[in-house]
């Protein structure tokens, strides 16, 4: 099969188009013919070597976390899916590899594709959808009438999280650039701050939840917009001790995580607020819940560009540039 392979870590390391064997299938997995895969900032961060301590992959490595495609084979323990099913997933850590023509996915990480979405639209959903779900539903327990500040509203996670928060009945504030104000308002944002003209920490007050996806300075400012008892959930770091426990990290790695997050945890606790780091996980059950929302029309995908498979490196660089409005997708299988 054709795949794009990372041979060495580095910010200038291009993925290499390679012919390689079809991946072996485990008993609890299905083999998917990849029709489309979306590109996430996580892919470029892994390529650059930023997650070597948290995710110690062996190279060479096929990148790619999101997939939409068709089941062509199932392992003997699989019961919920059969060949011919149109499916989508955020594949599991240490089994990533959707920048390829075929990828194995654990049955428990998989869901049937939303019925009215194209393969490209479906591929744009899993990682950002599960990130928003695990932050706002699972971690924050966001309720009707609460206020949530979602940073970078025009990005992949932001465009999904705004819609999910509105469906849950929350008041939503977000930041974006001047050219994207109409986009995020159209997704349901109630308070839109043009970060080129205003500072959010001078405007927002008494928020219940902040979904942080930006740098350390923005994270510190975010503590100030929370009310007492509120919480900031960060998907951009720093990792905290609880996360280290969850992934079973070695002691020295957990110590590093404790040190990296000590300042922000202390700042939050001192103000009667909470900080936690979220590194989303694959979950087919949650993806089924997201499918229901999409099928009901509560959430729609937002796609910036679709690149052909041979332009995978260009797609990765475009995502890293931070210019994308919504998601960037790679069309792997050409259909007539």
Q: How far apart are CA 188 and CA 26, in angstroms?
A: 42
Are both 121 and 132 inside the same structural domain? no
Are both 116 and 177 inside the same structural domain? no
Are both 13 and 112 inside the same structural domain? yes
Which domain covers residue 72, as residue numbers?
Answer: 2-125+301-331
Residue 105 near residue 66, CB atoms below 8 Å: no
What pLDDT score was predicted for residue 182? 97
- Please, what is the average pLDDT of the chain? 96
Examine residue 285 and state whether it is found in any structural domain, yes or no. Answer: no
Residue 100 near residue 3, CB atoms below 8 Å: yes
Are both 187 and 53 inside the same structural domain? no
Percentage helix, strand, coil, to 5, in the chain?
Answer: 35, 25, 40
Are both 10 and 24 inside the same structural domain? yes
Examine residue 283 and state whether it is found in any structural domain, yes or no. Answer: no
Are both 147 and 6 inside the same structural domain? no
Examine residue 294 and state whether it is found in any structural domain, yes or no. Answer: no
Examine residue 262 and state whether it is found in any structural domain, yes or no. Answer: yes
Please give the residue that has the higher pLDDT: either 172 or 248.
172
Axis-axis angle for helices 312-321, 41-48 (nearest 10): 100
Mean pLDDT of the region 5-30: 95
Q: How far apart are CA 30 and CA 19, in angstroms?
A: 21
CATH number of the domain residue 51 falls in = 3.90.180.10
CATH number of the domain residue 141 falls in = 3.40.50.720
Examine residue 69 and state whether it is found in any structural domain, yes or no. Answer: yes
What are the pLDDT digits (tens) for 232-287?
A: 999 998 988 888 888 888 888 889 889 989 999 999 999 999 999 999 999 999 99
Are both 118 and 155 inside the same structural domain? no
Are both 262 and 220 inside the same structural domain? yes
Are both 140 and 46 inside the same structural domain? no
What pLDDT score was predicted for residue 336? 52
Are both 53 and 31 inside the same structural domain? yes
What pLDDT score was predicted for residue 199? 95
Mean pLDDT of the region 181-187: 97
Examine residue 156 and state whether it is found in any structural domain, yes or no. Answer: yes
Residue 128 near residue 42, CB atoms below 8 Å: no
- Domain total of the chain: 2
What pLDDT score was predicted for residue 90? 98
What are the pLDDT digits (tens) for 106-123?
A: 999 999 999 999 999 999
Examine residue 292 and state whether it is found in any structural domain, yes or no. Answer: no
What are the pLDDT digits (tens) for 47-93?
A: 999 988 888 899 999 999 999 999 999 999 999 999 999 999 999 99
Are both 326 and 266 inside the same structural domain? no
Examine residue 185 and state whether it is found in any structural domain, yes or no. Answer: yes
Q: Name the residue among 42, 4, 35 with its Cα closest to residue 236.
A: 42
Are both 200 and 69 inside the same structural domain? no
Residue 161 burial (C-beta neighbours within 10 Å; 0-12, 13-18, 19+): buried
């Amino acid at each position: 099969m054709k795949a794009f392979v990372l041979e060495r870590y580095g910010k200038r390391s291009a993925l290499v188009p390679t012919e390689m064997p079809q991946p072996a299938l485990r008993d609890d997995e299905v083999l998917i013919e990849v029709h489309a895969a979306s590109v996430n900032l996580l892919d470029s961060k892994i390529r650059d070597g930023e997650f070597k301590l948290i995710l110690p992959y062996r190279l060479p490595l096929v990148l790619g976390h999101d997939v939409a495609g068709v089941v062509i084979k199932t392992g003997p323990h699989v019961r919920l899916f059969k060949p011919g099913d149109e499916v989508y997933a955020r594949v599991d850590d240490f089994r990533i590899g959707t920048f390829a023509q075929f990828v194995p996915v654990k049955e428990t990480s998989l869901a049937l594709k939303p019925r009215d979405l194209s393969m490209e639209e479906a591929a744009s959903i899993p990682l950002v959808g599960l990130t928003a779900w695990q932050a706002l539903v699972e971690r924050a327990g966001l309720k009707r009438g609460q206020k949530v500040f979602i940073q970078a509203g025009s990005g992949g996670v932001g465009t999904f999280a705004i819609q999910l928060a509105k469906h849950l009945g929350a008041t939503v504030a977000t930041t974006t650039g001047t050219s994207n104000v109409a986009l995020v308002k159209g997704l349901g944002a109630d308070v839109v701050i043009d970060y080129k003209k205003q500072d959010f920490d001078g405007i927002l007050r008494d928020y219940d939840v902040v979904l942080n996806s930006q740098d350390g300075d923005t994270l510190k400012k975010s503590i100030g917009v929370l009310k007492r008892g509120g919480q900031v959930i960060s998907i951009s770091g720093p990792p905290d001790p609880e996360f280290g426990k969850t992934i079973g990290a070695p002691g020295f790695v957990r110590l590093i995580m404790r040190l990296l997050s000590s300042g922000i945890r202390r700042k939050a606790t001192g103000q009667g607020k909470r900080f936690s780091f979220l590194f989303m996980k694959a979950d087919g059950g949650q993806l089924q819940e997201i499918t229901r929302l999409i099928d009901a029309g509560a959430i729609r995908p937002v796609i910036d560009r679709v690149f052909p498979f041979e332009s995978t490196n260009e797609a990765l660089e475009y995502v890293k540039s931070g210019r994308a409005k919504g998601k960037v997708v790679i069309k792997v299988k050409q259909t007539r």
